[in-house]
Structure 1
């Protein structure tokens, strides 16, 4: 899930963005598993930039 287009295009585009607007359906007051995975990956990426 985190390879390919995610690493090469999506995460760099998110890093360059001034803001992010998440549009997603409401599943019992929770976001989808895939969107949660993206957010978790972004957290890991931002943490690695701070540490490294």
Structure 2
């Protein structure tokens, strides 16, 4: 919410609800489309069930 407020709402003059919805839709498309995404949680190394430790 803070990012949305700082990057968009503090800098734009919203005229009505329709304008707000259109502006938010465009912002979310930009924000989610251009921002690098964090890698998913690292997966455990592949284990070999056939290998046994003696």
If the TM-score is normalised by the length of the shorter chain, which range does it land in?
A: 0.3 to 0.5
More helix by share: 1
Q: Report the structure number with the largest CA radius of gyration.
A: 2
Q: TM-score, normalised by structure 1?
A: 0.37
Q: Higher relative contact order at CA 8 Å, sep ≥6: structure 1 or structure 2?
A: 1
Q: TM-score, normalised by structure 2?
A: 0.36
